[in-house]
Amino acid sequence: MKVGCSKLSLLLVFVVVFCQGSNVFAWEPRPGWKDSYSVDGMCYCDTTNFDHGIGTKTVLAPDGYHRSVQQICADIKMIYGVGPEKNRIPYNTIACGHGPANDAPDEHLQTGCPGRVDLGSDGCFEIGPEWPLVSLYGLPMISLDRSEWKISAGNNQSQLAAMVDGNPATRWTSGEKQSDGQWIEIDFRKPSRINQIVLDTSASRNDYPRQLRIEDRSDENKPIEIPVERKFGGEITRLVFPARMISKLRVVQTGTTDRWYWSIHELHVGYIEP
Protein backbone atom coordinates (compact mmCIF):
# COMPACT_ATOMS: atom_id res chain seq x y z
CA MET A 1 0.00 0.00 0.00
CA LYS A 2 1.35 3.42 -0.92
CA VAL A 3 1.27 5.92 1.91
CA GLY A 4 1.12 9.62 1.07
CA CYS A 5 3.60 12.07 2.55
CA SER A 6 1.00 13.75 4.73
CA LYS A 7 -0.20 10.45 6.18
CA LEU A 8 3.36 9.27 6.78
CA SER A 9 4.22 12.53 8.57
CA LEU A 10 1.14 12.18 10.75
CA LEU A 11 2.13 8.62 11.61
CA LEU A 12 5.65 9.71 12.58
CA VAL A 13 4.31 12.50 14.77
CA PHE A 14 2.02 10.01 16.52
CA VAL A 15 4.90 7.60 17.14
CA VAL A 16 7.16 10.35 18.53
CA VAL A 17 4.44 11.73 20.83
CA PHE A 18 3.48 8.25 21.99
CA CYS A 19 7.07 7.31 22.76
CA GLN A 20 7.84 10.58 24.55
CA GLY A 21 4.84 10.08 26.78
CA SER A 22 5.84 6.58 27.80
CA ASN A 23 8.07 5.54 30.68
CA VAL A 24 10.00 3.26 28.35
CA PHE A 25 11.18 6.25 26.33
CA ALA A 26 11.90 8.33 29.42
CA TRP A 27 13.82 5.66 31.31
CA GLU A 28 17.55 6.37 31.19
CA PRO A 29 19.37 3.93 33.47
CA ARG A 30 22.99 4.84 34.06
CA PRO A 31 25.71 3.93 36.57
CA GLY A 32 25.45 5.86 39.82
CA TRP A 33 22.05 7.30 38.93
CA LYS A 34 20.82 7.32 42.49
CA ASP A 35 21.10 10.03 45.09
CA SER A 36 19.02 8.62 47.92
CA TYR A 37 17.57 5.42 49.29
CA SER A 38 15.09 4.21 51.87
CA VAL A 39 15.25 1.47 54.47
CA ASP A 40 12.27 0.54 56.65
CA GLY A 41 10.46 3.80 55.97
CA MET A 42 13.49 6.05 56.59
CA CYS A 43 14.94 8.20 53.82
CA TYR A 44 18.73 8.45 53.62
CA CYS A 45 21.02 10.28 51.19
CA ASP A 46 23.96 9.25 49.09
CA THR A 47 26.10 12.20 50.17
CA THR A 48 28.66 11.67 47.43
CA ASN A 49 26.34 12.46 44.54
CA PHE A 50 24.89 15.96 44.14
CA ASP A 51 24.85 16.20 40.38
CA HIS A 52 23.40 19.13 38.41
CA GLY A 53 23.74 21.37 41.49
CA ILE A 54 20.97 19.63 43.43
CA GLY A 55 23.05 19.91 46.61
CA THR A 56 22.78 23.70 46.64
CA LYS A 57 18.99 23.82 46.30
CA THR A 58 17.24 24.67 49.55
CA VAL A 59 14.35 23.25 51.56
CA LEU A 60 12.37 25.02 54.28
CA ALA A 61 12.66 22.90 57.42
CA PRO A 62 10.00 22.78 60.17
CA ASP A 63 12.10 24.97 62.47
CA GLY A 64 11.74 27.83 60.00
CA TYR A 65 15.20 27.80 58.41
CA HIS A 66 16.13 27.06 54.80
CA ARG A 67 18.84 24.45 54.43
CA SER A 68 20.57 23.14 51.35
CA VAL A 69 20.00 19.57 50.26
CA GLN A 70 23.67 18.90 50.96
CA GLN A 71 23.32 20.17 54.54
CA ILE A 72 20.15 18.14 55.15
CA CYS A 73 21.88 15.01 53.91
CA ALA A 74 24.88 15.70 56.16
CA ASP A 75 22.57 16.15 59.16
CA ILE A 76 20.68 12.94 58.39
CA LYS A 77 23.99 11.10 58.23
CA MET A 78 25.17 12.66 61.49
CA ILE A 79 22.01 11.75 63.43
CA TYR A 80 20.90 8.52 61.79
CA GLY A 81 24.06 7.22 60.14
CA VAL A 82 23.98 5.80 56.65
CA GLY A 83 21.33 3.12 57.15
CA PRO A 84 21.70 -0.66 56.86
CA GLU A 85 23.90 -1.81 54.01
CA LYS A 86 21.33 -4.38 52.92
CA ASN A 87 17.68 -4.02 52.01
CA ARG A 88 18.19 -0.54 50.58
CA ILE A 89 15.69 0.72 48.01
CA PRO A 90 17.66 3.18 45.84
CA TYR A 91 15.96 6.24 44.36
CA ASN A 92 17.17 8.99 42.11
CA THR A 93 17.35 12.64 43.10
CA ILE A 94 13.91 13.75 44.24
CA ALA A 95 11.93 10.55 44.68
CA CYS A 96 13.23 9.93 48.20
CA GLY A 97 12.89 12.95 50.43
CA HIS A 98 10.41 14.93 48.35
CA GLY A 99 13.13 17.53 48.00
CA PRO A 100 13.33 20.20 45.30
CA ALA A 101 13.05 18.96 41.73
CA ASN A 102 16.26 18.48 39.82
CA ASP A 103 15.60 20.51 36.69
CA ALA A 104 18.25 18.81 34.55
CA PRO A 105 16.73 17.49 31.28
CA ASP A 106 17.73 13.90 32.00
CA GLU A 107 16.04 13.78 35.42
CA HIS A 108 13.03 16.05 35.11
CA LEU A 109 9.66 14.68 36.12
CA GLN A 110 8.38 14.86 32.55
CA THR A 111 11.39 13.92 30.46
CA GLY A 112 13.37 11.80 32.89
CA CYS A 113 12.35 9.04 35.24
CA PRO A 114 12.82 9.71 38.96
CA GLY A 115 11.82 6.74 41.02
CA ARG A 116 13.20 3.38 42.10
CA VAL A 117 16.28 2.77 40.04
CA ASP A 118 16.42 -0.90 41.09
CA LEU A 119 13.20 -1.63 39.20
CA GLY A 120 14.16 -0.14 35.86
CA SER A 121 11.30 1.48 33.98
CA ASP A 122 8.78 -0.21 36.31
CA GLY A 123 10.04 2.05 39.11
CA CYS A 124 9.46 5.33 37.28
CA PHE A 125 7.77 7.99 39.44
CA GLU A 126 7.58 5.75 42.51
CA ILE A 127 7.98 8.10 45.49
CA GLY A 128 9.80 7.05 48.65
CA PRO A 129 9.42 8.28 52.24
CA GLU A 130 10.17 11.90 53.08
CA TRP A 131 13.22 13.10 54.93
CA PRO A 132 12.73 13.01 58.74
CA LEU A 133 12.88 16.80 58.98
CA VAL A 134 10.63 17.16 62.04
CA SER A 135 12.63 14.69 64.11
CA LEU A 136 15.85 16.23 62.83
CA TYR A 137 15.18 19.90 63.42
CA GLY A 138 12.10 20.16 65.59
CA LEU A 139 9.71 23.08 65.57
CA PRO A 140 10.44 26.83 65.58
CA MET A 141 11.66 28.39 68.79
CA ILE A 142 10.15 31.52 70.29
CA SER A 143 12.78 34.11 69.36
CA LEU A 144 13.52 37.13 71.52
CA ASP A 145 12.83 40.57 70.09
CA ARG A 146 16.17 41.72 68.66
CA SER A 147 15.32 45.40 68.33
CA GLU A 148 16.54 46.27 71.85
CA TRP A 149 19.71 44.21 71.83
CA LYS A 150 23.11 45.77 72.30
CA ILE A 151 25.75 43.66 70.53
CA SER A 152 29.52 43.84 70.82
CA ALA A 153 32.36 41.72 69.47
CA GLY A 154 36.09 41.26 69.63
CA ASN A 155 36.34 41.73 65.86
CA ASN A 156 34.80 43.95 63.21
CA GLN A 157 32.44 46.08 65.29
CA SER A 158 31.23 47.99 62.23
CA GLN A 159 29.34 45.00 60.81
CA LEU A 160 27.49 43.91 63.96
CA ALA A 161 24.10 45.21 62.83
CA ALA A 162 24.15 42.84 59.85
CA MET A 163 23.57 39.80 62.05
CA VAL A 164 20.20 41.13 63.27
CA ASP A 165 18.94 43.10 60.27
CA GLY A 166 16.60 40.39 58.98
CA ASN A 167 18.49 40.13 55.70
CA PRO A 168 20.19 36.72 55.31
CA ALA A 169 22.34 38.11 52.49
CA THR A 170 24.26 40.46 54.82
CA ARG A 171 26.66 39.28 57.48
CA TRP A 172 28.98 40.04 60.32
CA THR A 173 32.35 38.40 59.86
CA SER A 174 35.44 38.12 62.01
CA GLY A 175 37.55 39.50 59.13
CA GLU A 176 40.27 36.99 59.88
CA LYS A 177 40.71 33.23 60.05
CA GLN A 178 38.97 31.50 62.92
CA SER A 179 41.07 31.33 66.06
CA ASP A 180 40.53 30.62 69.73
CA GLY A 181 39.08 33.55 71.64
CA GLN A 182 36.96 35.34 69.02
CA TRP A 183 33.65 36.38 70.57
CA ILE A 184 30.34 38.18 70.24
CA GLU A 185 28.25 39.39 73.17
CA ILE A 186 24.53 40.15 73.36
CA ASP A 187 23.09 42.42 76.04
CA PHE A 188 19.34 41.71 76.13
CA ARG A 189 18.75 44.79 78.34
CA LYS A 190 16.67 42.67 80.73
CA PRO A 191 16.70 39.10 82.06
CA SER A 192 15.21 36.74 79.48
CA ARG A 193 14.44 33.05 79.62
CA ILE A 194 16.44 31.27 76.92
CA ASN A 195 17.70 27.81 76.09
CA GLN A 196 18.70 28.00 72.44
CA ILE A 197 20.98 30.00 70.13
CA VAL A 198 20.89 29.81 66.34
CA LEU A 199 23.73 31.06 64.14
CA ASP A 200 22.69 31.19 60.49
CA THR A 201 25.61 31.00 58.07
CA SER A 202 23.70 29.63 55.07
CA ALA A 203 25.06 32.18 52.61
CA SER A 204 28.67 31.54 53.73
CA ARG A 205 28.42 27.84 54.46
CA ASN A 206 32.15 27.32 55.12
CA ASP A 207 32.26 30.10 57.73
CA TYR A 208 30.43 28.14 60.42
CA PRO A 209 32.17 28.21 63.84
CA ARG A 210 34.34 25.13 64.37
CA GLN A 211 34.02 25.09 68.17
CA LEU A 212 32.01 27.19 70.60
CA ARG A 213 31.38 27.84 74.22
CA ILE A 214 28.81 30.18 75.76
CA GLU A 215 28.96 32.23 78.93
CA ASP A 216 26.29 33.84 81.08
CA ARG A 217 27.69 37.31 81.75
CA SER A 218 24.69 38.73 83.56
CA ASP A 219 27.09 39.35 86.44
CA GLU A 220 30.20 40.84 84.83
CA ASN A 221 32.25 39.89 87.89
CA LYS A 222 31.17 36.26 87.73
CA PRO A 223 30.89 34.92 84.17
CA ILE A 224 29.42 31.42 84.15
CA GLU A 225 30.21 28.93 81.41
CA ILE A 226 27.03 27.10 80.41
CA PRO A 227 27.16 23.42 79.40
CA VAL A 228 25.84 23.36 75.87
CA GLU A 229 24.86 20.71 73.33
CA ARG A 230 25.69 21.54 69.76
CA LYS A 231 22.81 20.11 67.75
CA PHE A 232 24.08 20.97 64.28
CA GLY A 233 26.95 22.69 62.56
CA GLY A 234 27.37 23.80 59.00
CA GLU A 235 24.89 26.26 57.57
CA ILE A 236 22.72 26.47 60.69
CA THR A 237 24.46 26.04 64.05
CA ARG A 238 22.06 25.34 66.93
CA LEU A 239 23.20 25.44 70.53
CA VAL A 240 20.85 24.03 73.17
CA PHE A 241 21.27 24.24 76.95
CA PRO A 242 19.16 24.08 80.13
CA ALA A 243 16.78 27.05 80.28
CA ARG A 244 17.91 29.97 82.43
CA MET A 245 17.28 33.68 82.89
CA ILE A 246 20.08 35.65 81.24
CA SER A 247 20.53 39.35 80.62
CA LYS A 248 23.91 39.19 78.89
CA LEU A 249 25.32 36.30 76.87
CA ARG A 250 28.72 35.77 75.27
CA VAL A 251 29.39 33.30 72.44
CA VAL A 252 33.08 32.40 72.15
CA GLN A 253 34.60 30.76 69.08
CA THR A 254 37.37 28.41 70.23
CA GLY A 255 38.21 26.51 67.04
CA THR A 256 40.75 27.20 64.31
CA THR A 257 40.87 26.95 60.51
CA ASP A 258 43.60 27.53 57.98
CA ARG A 259 41.33 29.49 55.68
CA TRP A 260 37.78 30.40 56.76
CA TYR A 261 36.45 33.40 58.64
CA TRP A 262 33.75 33.12 61.30
CA SER A 263 30.58 34.68 59.88
CA ILE A 264 27.02 35.16 61.13
CA HIS A 265 24.33 36.20 58.65
CA GLU A 266 21.49 36.04 61.17
CA LEU A 267 21.60 35.51 64.93
CA HIS A 268 18.58 34.33 66.92
CA VAL A 269 18.25 33.60 70.62
CA GLY A 270 15.13 32.21 72.23
CA TYR A 271 13.28 29.47 74.01
CA ILE A 272 11.81 26.19 72.86
CA GLU A 273 10.00 23.58 74.89
CA PRO A 274 12.39 20.65 75.56
CATH of the domain at 146: 2.60.120.260
Query: Please, are residues 172 and 182 in contact by the beta-carbon 8 Å criterion?
Result: no
Domain that holds residue 186: 142-271
Q: Is residue 11 included in any domain, yes or no?
A: no
Pairing of strands 266-271, 142-143: antiparallel
> Strand, helix or coil at 11?
helix
Q: What is the DSSP letter of 145?
A: P
Same domain, 118 and 157: no
Statement to judge: residues 153 and 254 lie in one domain? yes
Number of domains in the chain: 2
Is 243 exposed, middle or buried, given 0-12, 13-18 or 19+ CB atoms closer than 10 A?
Answer: middle
**Mean of the pLDDT values across residues 21-28?**
47
The residue out of 122, 137, 152 marking a domain boundary is 137
* Average pLDDT of the residues in 180-204: 96
Verify that 129 and 180 share a domain, yes or no: no
pLDDT at residue 27, as a whole number: 54
The confidence band for 246, taking pLDDT boundaries of 50, 70 and 90, is very high
Find the range with the poorest average confidence among 26-35, 212-221, 228-237: 26-35
- Residue 152 neighbours by CB distance under 10 Å: 13
* Predicted confidence (pLDDT) per residue in 197-223, tens digit: 999 999 998 999 999 999 999 998 999
Whether residues 128 and 43 fall in one domain: yes
In a domain? residue 13 = no
Answer whether residue 183 shows pLDDT above 70: yes
Mean of pLDDT over the chain: 85
Give the tens place of pLDDT for each residue, 147-164: 999 999 999 999 999 999
pLDDT, tens digit, 9 for 90 and up, residues 119-141: 888 888 888 999 999 999 988 89
Q: What is the pLDDT of residues 47-90, one digit of tens each?
A: 777 888 888 899 999 998 889 999 999 999 989 998 888 889 99
Q: Do 154 and 198 lie in a common domain? A: yes
Residue 124's nearest CA partner among 16, 39, 33 is 33
Domain limit, last residue, from 137, 158, 178: 137
Helix, strand, or coil (residue 199): strand
pLDDT classification of 110: cutoffs 50, 70, 90: low
Quick one: DSSP state of residue 115?
B
